């Protein structure tokens, strides 16, 4: 029993870290640009597939470093070409646009790499268990969690200590003032979108190493990411972080005790949060509400 | 509603945003039928003070009384029902509806019809008469069928005032009613406010930057600077006040 | 001056002319559609999707509030109708009533949790609620049929005592039945929009802050508008189940929600009949796409992107006089 609980807890933590990476990227974009990127899961898939292409040439480690950057560049370009047109319009257009974009990206993956699952090879040493007692905790899993911790720490450091990061944070609070201070808001938004895509790409490489690749691999992650954001509270990245971990672990623990409700539990958590604390765990309340 | 109490009273009202003290310890008493102007340099806390009065957010300290009743915790929508009508610095209207529709929505809300699925012929007539009345008051009868978004700046302001009037307020709060207007439009809007005050006996509090408008209209003037009340008096007294001249009138913006 | 004259309604064709043209076309579908190579069932699908999108549009186009989860209420309507026919009684009116109530009441309850959210957050929560319903239908195999959908029910003939209408066997008759329900629903919507309450919806869309400072309880009005909208979309869902004798879990999915939103936008969400026009376009597109075995997602996705970038005001929006809308 203890083994089972530990197994699921570990799973939950790892799934939770994926949620966190995905949700943080989404959250960044929502906070600064008010766009819910439906295609975020497809950026994740593309990150994974790019790693698949790169691995034979530069190995897994190289791909892990390069693929997220390429995903970020793709995000940057797509933001410049498509997304920026809808910032000033009703939110409905950004939702429909990224919704359509997600379809397109998914079909492109399917066209290039085929509809069947593909494996992403990770170094042999990584698939070994850390200890024989806990066979399911492979070095790769430990490594994934470590990478996510580094990435999240890096993101928060970027936002706190770099000029771009401080501008992104300021823009999240008061875009008009930031714009009035002479900051190039369109460029800031493109960059911010690229950072969000980077996180999705990174999550894609990590996920591919564990679960393999398929064109709709991001679909299962997008909805929990939404919920992580709603639970964590709008406008708060720390909240998103907390929300992602919370629902990941909650889903995993439910798997132990009541497997058929494992997917439902995250929605229950969301409903409870909305009922008890509508602004989310760490969200800010608007003036009028 | 007690006749003895002033229409509006602020007692040492303060508002902090984090460490920023936007308004601190402002007291003000507005009598029934008075037209009070609030002036002060940009960032003096005038609009914040307005937002406190109208219930945009609660005060951090002090009390706000309407007709002698403490309204600190009364939500904005409720204050409207208690007789507070407000216009905003940036005109808040329903741009893609006609002038008549704008007024009608306000009238129907004021009459408590806003959740109704239908109206009797009698009620429809009641609404139509009330709409015509406020449009006449605001001098907009000729523009009744035009979309508000297409009107001149001054007429949009008049439409906004008409909507406030439709709720039969006992106190009108106007935030920079002539902001961004040319001379002719300023003159029109000033005339409208003057008529509402002199002829229709509304109690009015307004924030204004245009000193010609202020000295022409106001019974009394309150001067805010850096969130505090600097001076208060009749237009004559204010124009002679040395502090005010130093702090505000002397310095052109 | 007794009607709501917004700029959005002032199309090139006058409203009463629109009404005549639309109803003339709808009433004669079984006569002209086969000549164009269509079949009557597809016209039924158009009506159903149009009704779903018109229901959504009360919220989207008229109240200015974005729900991206209306598939949930559409799907609940379908399952409610199907389950009633399967387990309760072979009565079409009862199935419609039960499905509409199920979807509508669910929407009303969810709406309570939603009304304080705005903009994209409102949309996100609606999506998540939609997925809740999807998972329930998907997981509750033995009752809902799970992944395969709910089968094993057929719409029942209408029994008026003196005579029977065989809407089960006769496709044309069923089309007129759907059109009848559609007509009543759409008439109700028009009445709502012309009522004082309907005008407050427009007021909230146009300027929420002003609406609030008129003393309108904005949250309450948005909630009511959401609830009404869900009832209509659920009604459409019941008709969908009757049309196919099948309730599909994918009908609850957010992809379906996206489709309903797209129908409203494609036709013109600031116009009353826009969603009907959108439904015609959408069903035609769907019919074409279903013949594609690969790359249909690319095709649909590209359509979405192009509509958003090039025709954001939809087909009816294009017909309006220039400079209108936003």
Distance, CA of C231 to CA of C105 (rounded, Å):
8
Mutate: best of C120, C254, C274, C326, partner A, most A CBs <10 A: C120
Among the partner-chain residues A34, A82, A96, the one whose CB lies closest to the CB of C120 is A34
**Whether B77 contacts C217, CB under 8 Å:** yes
Structure tokens at A60: 């897994």
Residue B252 has a pLDDT of: 43
Residues of C with CB under 8 A from a CB of B: 1-2, 4-8, 191-192, 195-197, 199-200, 202-203, 206-207, 209-210, 212-218, 221, 224, 325
- The helix (run of H) or strand (run of E) holding residue B31 is none
Choose the weakest-confidence range: A41-45, A76-80, A244-248, B203-207.
Answer: A244-248
Q: How far apart are CA A101 and CA A39, in angstroms?
A: 6
Q: Give the number of A-C residue pairs with CB atoms closer than 8 Å.
A: 121
Distance between C293 CA and the closest CA of chain A, angstroms: 12
pLDDT attached to residue B2: 52
Share of chain A above pLDDT 70, in %: 98
User: Taken in order A38, A42, A47, A50, is the CA torsion positive or negative?
Assistant: negative
Residue A134 has pLDDT above 80, yes or no: no
* ipTM summary value: 0.88
Give domain limits for chain B: 1-83+170-253, 92-168
Contacts of residue C180, defined as CB under 8 A and 6 or more positions apart, other chains included, come to none
Tell me if C131 is assigned to some domain: yes
H/E segment holding residue B233: strand B228-233
- Chain A residue with CA closest to C110: the answer is A271
Cβ atoms of residues B238 and B244 within 8 Å: yes
Residue of C nearest to B108 (CA): C196
- Tens of pLDDT, residues C158-169: 777 777 788 877
Q: How high is the pLDDT of residue A222?
A: 87
B125, with CB counted inside 10 A (0-12, 13-18, 19+), is exposed
Reply yes or no on whether the pLDDT at B148 is more than 80.
Answer: yes
Work out the average pLDDT over C116-143. Answer: 83
Task: Band the pLDDT of B3: cuts 50, 70, 90.
Answer: low
- Cβ of C196 within 8 Å of Cβ of B97? The answer is no
Answer whether residue C5 is part of any domain.
no
Mean pLDDT of C199-206: 94
- Could you tell me the pLDDT band of residue A107, with boundaries at 50, 70 and 90? very high
Please state, in angstroms and rounded to a whole number, the distance separating the CA atoms of residues C185 and C236: 9
Residue-range definition of the domain harbouring residue C149 = 31-256
DSSP-H helix ranges across chain C: 15-27, 29-32, 40-57, 71-83, 92-114, 119-139, 141-144, 171-193, 196-206, 208-213, 218-244, 254-267, 274-289, 296-310, 314-319
3-class DSSP state for residue C120? Answer: helix
H/E stretch holding B48 reads helix B46-54
**What is the number of alpha carbons within 13 Å of residue A218 lying toward its C-beta?**
34
Asked whether the predicted pLDDT for residue A173 surpasses 50, the reply is yes
Q: Say how many residues make up chain B.
A: 253
Round to whole Å and give the CA distance between C263 and C315: 11
* pLDDT at residue B227, rounded to an integer: 87
Cα–Cα distance between C66 and C78 in angstroms, integer? 22
Q: Which residues of C21-49 are buried (b: 16+ CB within 10 A; e: fewer)?
A: eeeeebeebeeebeeeebebbbbbbbbbb
Q: Is B124 exposed, middle or buried (CB count within 10 Å of its CB: 0-12, 13-18, 19+)?
A: middle
With beta carbons less than 8 A apart as the criterion, state whether B213 and B38 touch: no
Neighbours of A248 (CB within 10 A): 24
Partners of chain C (3+ Cβ pairs below 8 A): A, B
3-class state of residue B66 by DSSP: strand
**Residue indicated by tokens 């899961």:** A41
Task: Tell whether B118 lies on the interface with C, counting CB pairs under 8 A.
Answer: yes
Strands B61-66 and B69-70, sheet pairing: antiparallel
A34-76 per-position pLDDT tens digit? 899 999 999 999 999 999 999 999 999 999 999 999 999 999 9
Would you say residue C12 has pLDDT above 80? no
Alpha carbon B240 to chain centroid, angstroms: 26
User: What percent of chain B clears pLDDT 70, i.e. is strictly above it?
Assistant: 96
Residues of B in contact with C196 (CB under 8 A): 108, 113-117, 119
Note the pLDDT of residue B181: 85
Question: For residues A230 and A124, is the Cβ–Cβ distance under 8 A?
Answer: no
Q: Please tell me the distance in Å from A286's CA to the nearest CA on chain B.
A: 10
- CB contacts < 8 Å between B and C, how many? 99
Segment C210-222 mean pLDDT: 90
Residues of A in contact with B76 (CB under 8 A): 288
Q: Which chain B residue has its CA at the smallest distance from A288's CA? A: B56
Rounded to 5 degrees, what are φ and ψ at C5?
A: -105, 95
Residue C252 or residue C102, greater confidence:
C102
Q: Which among A34, A97, A278 is the nearest to C305, CB-wise?
A: A97
Rounded CA-CA distance C265/C283 in Å is 14
Contacts of C303 in chain A (CB under 8 A): 100
Option in B95, B101, B167 nearest C214 (CB): B167
Q: To the nearest whole angstrom, how far is the Cα of B65 from the nearest Cα of chain C? A: 19
The answer to whether the Cβ–Cβ distance between C213 and B101 falls below 8 Å is no
For the domain B1-83+170-253, what is the CATH superfamily, name and number? Answer: P-loop containing nucleotide triphosphate hydrolases (3.40.50.300)
Residues 38-57 of B with CB under 8 A from A: 56-57
Q: What's chain A's average pLDDT?
A: 87
Closest CA to B93 of B103, B84, B83: B103
Beta bridge partners of C172: none
Q: Does A180 touch chain B (CB under 8 A)?
A: no
Residues of B in contact with A287 (CB under 8 A): 56-57
The structure tokens listed for A190 are 């493109």
Is the pLDDT higher at B86 or at A50? A50
Q: Which comes out higher in pLDDT, residue C317 or A97?
A: A97
Q: How many domains does chain C fold into?
A: 1
Provide the token pair at B182.
């040319």
Find the CB nearest A100 among C64, C113, C304: C304
Please tell me the distance from the alpha carbon of residue C80 to that of residue C230, in angstroms, as a whole number: 14
Does residue B251 carry a pLDDT above 70? no
**CA–CA gap between residue C130 and residue B18 (Å, rounded):** 39
Is residue C7 included in any domain, yes or no?
no
Q: Which of A46-55, A218-227, B238-247 has the lowest mean pLDDT?
A: B238-247
Helix (H/G/I), strand (E/B), else coil: A37: coil
- Segments in chain A forming alpha helices (H): 2-33, 40-81, 91-113, 139-161, 163-173, 175-180, 185-211, 219-232, 237-257, 264-276
CA-closest candidate to residue A195, choices A21, A38, A54, A59: A21
Structure tokens at A31: 């906070």
Q: Does B17 touch chain A (CB under 8 A)?
A: no
What are phi and psi for residue C247, nearest 5 degrees?
A: -120, 130
Judging contacts by C-beta atoms under 8 Å, the chain C residues touching residue A100 are 300-305, 308
**Mean pLDDT of all residues in B53-64:** 90
Q: Tell me how far apart the alpha carbons of residues C286 and C280 are, in angstroms, rounded to a whole number.
A: 10
Q: Is C2 inside a domain boundary?
A: no
């Amino acid at each position: 029993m203890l083994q089972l609980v530990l197994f699921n807890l570990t799973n939950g933590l790892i799934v939770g870290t994926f949620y966190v990476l995905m949700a943080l990227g989404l959250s960044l974009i929502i906070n600064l640009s008010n766009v819910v990127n439906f295609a975020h899961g497809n950026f994740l898939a593309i990150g994974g597939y790019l790693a698949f292409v790169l691995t034979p040439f530069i190995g897994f480690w190289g791909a892990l470093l390069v693929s997220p950057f390429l995903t970020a560049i793709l995000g940057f370009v797509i933001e410049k070409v498509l997304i920026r047109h809808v910032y000033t319009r009703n939110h409905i257009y950004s939702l429909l646009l990224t919704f359509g974009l997600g379809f397109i990206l998914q079909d492109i993956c399917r066209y290039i790499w085929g509809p069947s699952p593909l494996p992403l090879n990770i170094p042999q040493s990584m698939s070994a268990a850390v200890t024989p007692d806990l066979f399911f905790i492979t070095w790769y899993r430990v490594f994934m969690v470590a990478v996510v911790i580094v990435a999240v720490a890096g993101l928060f450091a970027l936002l706190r200590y770099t000029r771009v990061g401080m501008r992104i944070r300021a823009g999240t609070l008061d875009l008009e003032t930031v714009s009035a201070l002479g900051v190039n808001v369109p460029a800031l938004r493109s960059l911010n979108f690229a950072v969000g895509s980077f996180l999705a790409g990174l999550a894609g490489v990590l996920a591919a190493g564990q679960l393999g690749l398929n064109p709709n691999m991001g679909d299962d992650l997008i909805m929990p990411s939404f919920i992580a954001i709603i639970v964590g509270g709008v406008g708060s990245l720390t909240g998103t972080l907390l929300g992602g971990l919370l629902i990941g672990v909650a889903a995993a623990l439910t798997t132990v005790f009541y497997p058929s409700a494992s997917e439902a539990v995250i929605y229950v958590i969301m409903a409870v949060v909305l009922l008890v604390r509508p602004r989310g765990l760490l969200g800010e309340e608007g003036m009028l509400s | 509603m007690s006749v003895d109490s002033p229409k509006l009273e602020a007692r040492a009202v303060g508002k902090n945003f984090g460490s920023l003290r936007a308004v601190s310890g402002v007291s003000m008493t507005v009598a029934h039928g008075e037209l009070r102007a609030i002036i002060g340099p940009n960032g003096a806390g005038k609009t914040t003070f307005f937002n406190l009065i109208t219930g945009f957010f609660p005060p951090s300290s002090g009390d706000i009384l309407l007709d002698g009743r403490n309204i600190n915790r009364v939500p904005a929508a409720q204050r409207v029902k208690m007789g507070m009508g407000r216009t905003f610095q940036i005109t808040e209207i329903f741009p893609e509806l006609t002038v008549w529709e704008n007024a009608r929505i306000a009238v129907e809300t004021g009459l408590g019809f806003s959740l109704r699925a239908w109206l009797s012929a009698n009620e429809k007539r009641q609404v139509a008469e009330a709409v015509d009345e406020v449009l006449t008051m605001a001098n907009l009868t000729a523009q009744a069928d035009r979309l508000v978004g297409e009107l001149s700046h001054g007429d949009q302001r008049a439409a906004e005032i008409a909507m406030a009037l439709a709720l039969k307020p006992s106190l009108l709060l106007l935030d920079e009613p002539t902001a961004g207007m040319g001379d002719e439009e300023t003159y029109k809007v000033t005339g409208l406010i003057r008529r509402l005050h002199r002829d229709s006996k509304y109690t009015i509090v307004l924030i204004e930057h245009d000193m010609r408008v202020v000295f022409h209209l106001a019974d009394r003037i309150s001067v805010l600077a850096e969130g505090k009340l600097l001076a208060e008096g009749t237009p004559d007294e204010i124009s002679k006040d040395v502090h005010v001249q130093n702090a505000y009138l002397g310095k052109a913006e | 001056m007794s009607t709501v004259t917004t700029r959005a309604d002032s199309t090139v064709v006058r409203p009463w002319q629109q009404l005549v043209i639309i109803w003339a076309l709808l009433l004669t579908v079984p006569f002209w559609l086969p000549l164009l190579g269509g079949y009557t069932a597809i016209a039924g699908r158009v009506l159903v999707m149009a009704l779903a999108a018109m229901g959504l549009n009360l919220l989207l186009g008229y109240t200015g509030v974005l729900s991206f989860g209306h598939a949930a209420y559409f799907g609940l309507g379908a399952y409610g109708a199907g389950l009633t026919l399967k387990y309760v009684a072979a009565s079409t009116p009862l199935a419609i009533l039960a499905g509409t109530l199920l979807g509508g009441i669910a929407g009303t309850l969810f709406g309570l949790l939603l009304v304080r959210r705005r903009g994209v957050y409102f949309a996100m929560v609606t999506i998540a609620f939609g997925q809740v319903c999807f998972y329930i239908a998907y997981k509750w195999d033995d009752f809902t049929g799970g992944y395969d959908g709910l089968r094993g029910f057929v719409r029942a003939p209408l029994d008026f005592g003196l005579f029977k209408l065989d809407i089960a066997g006769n496709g044309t008759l069923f089309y007129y039945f759907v059109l009848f329900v559609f007509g009543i629903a759409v008439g109700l919507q028009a009445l709502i929009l012309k009522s004082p309450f309907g005008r407050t919806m427009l007021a909230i869309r146009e300027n929420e802050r002003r609406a609030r400072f008129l003393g309108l309880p904005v949250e309450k009005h948005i909630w009511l508008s959401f609830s009404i909208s869900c009832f209509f979309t659920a009604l459409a869902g019941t008709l969908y189940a009757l049309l196919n004798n099948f309730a599909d879990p994918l009908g609850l999915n957010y992809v379906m929600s996206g489709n309903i939103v797209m129908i409203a936008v494609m036709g013109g969400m600031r116009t009353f009949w826009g969603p009907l026009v959108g439904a015609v376009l959408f069903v035609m597109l769907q019919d074409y796409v279903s013949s594609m075995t690969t790359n249909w997602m690319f095709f649909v996705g590209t359509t979405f992107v192009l509509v958003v970038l090039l025709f954001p005001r939809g087909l009816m929006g294009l017909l309006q006089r220039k400079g209108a809308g936003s």
